[in-house]
Structure 1
Amino acid sequence: MDDSAETPSRGNPFTVVPIEITISVGKARPLIRDLLKLTRDSVLPLDRRVEDPVELYVGDRLIARGELEEMEGDNAGQLAVRLTEVSDLSGEL
């Protein structure tokens, strides 16, 4: 029985190399004069709402979109992302 589809790391050592995924929750575009006024406890409004999707990037390539969630159980309070869209191999969503 060929189980190579279930254990791809046997044939390719790169499958066990970790990558960093950046989660983008939004952007801010303050004027420089407003940026210079920021102090502790300042609030910087983003261009998105809490319920809007977040974007997942590897480098500068968009790989997926999802929704922020709070973990439960042993990881209560930790943020996570539930994927709602995943790019195909060509990288297009």
Structure 2
Amino acid sequence: MENVSCEEALDYVFAIYEVSQKTFVANITTQVVERHMIRGLKMIFSPVAVVNGLSEFAVEKIASEPAAAKRHRLFLEDRIEKLKDG
């Protein structure tokens, strides 16, 4: 009877060990993968890094107004000057 109880207790310990081992391996794998993925996200989502990497032409193209709007604004400014002079 004593051997049966000891074997049963040993079986329970092995079962707990297997579950704990799988959980441990899964947690370590997840932490390592997340750490390496998150480390790279800072450069991907950083607006400063993205803007600093753009060429001057690209920044001007993104930030400038359309050519038609610029021509219309210059035309209106010229008309305002002419009306003030008149």
Sort the TM-score into its range (normalised by shorter chain).
under 0.3
Q: Say which structure is richer in helix.
A: 2
Q: Which has the higher contact order (CA 8 A, sep 6+)?
A: 1
Q: Say which structure is richer in strand.
A: 1
Higher-Rg member (1/2): 2
Superposition TM-score, scaled by structure 1 size: 0.23
